[in-house]
Amino acid sequence: MTVHNLYIFDRNGSCLHYSEWNRKKQAGISKDETSRYKLHYYETPTGIKLVMNTDLGVPNCRDTLQQIYSTLYVEYIVKNPLCVLGETLQSDLFNSKLDSFIRALPFFSVRAA
């Protein structure tokens, strides 16, 4: 089980953030493999959209995405007055917190098999 990547879009549909994990074999990913992923989607009433792609073994991630929104996006982006809303996220703090959050997920592990 693993997490592939995460997108954050704003209400207008522009991408604020993209990061990926465990895609080292990027060049080698065949069509065969890319079709076998699960897309998790969470949208807030304000139109912030979080999209996370994982492999098929990962259970429902709504709570995880909501947590990313409430404990990371709101805390480190919205509450940082220097971060202009609606622009690509450039906060290193947010990036590192997000990275460690994802890595700490129970279903995050480099494919052993």
Specify the DSSP class assigned to residue 27: G
Task: Rank residues 24 and 70 by Cβ distance to another protein and give the closer one.
Answer: 70
Per-residue binding letters, 73-92, with another protein (x by CB under 8 A)? xx---xx-----x-------
Is 19 a binding residue for another protein by CB under 8 A? The answer is: no
Q: Does 28 engage in binding with another protein (CB under 8 A)?
A: no
4 close to 53: Cβ distance less than 8 angstroms: yes
Residue closer to another protein by CB (options 11, 23) is: 11
Both tokens of 66, joined, read 């909501």
Greatest Cα pair distance, the chain, in angstroms, is: 45
- Asked if 44 touches another protein (CB under 8 A), the answer is yes
In the structure encoding, which two tokens stand for residue 101, read together? Answer: 């959050």
Q: How many CB atoms lie within 10 A of CB 65?
A: 21
Query: Which residues here bind another protein, judged by CB under 8 A?
Result: 11-14, 44-48, 63-64, 66-67, 69-71, 73-74, 78-79, 85, 106
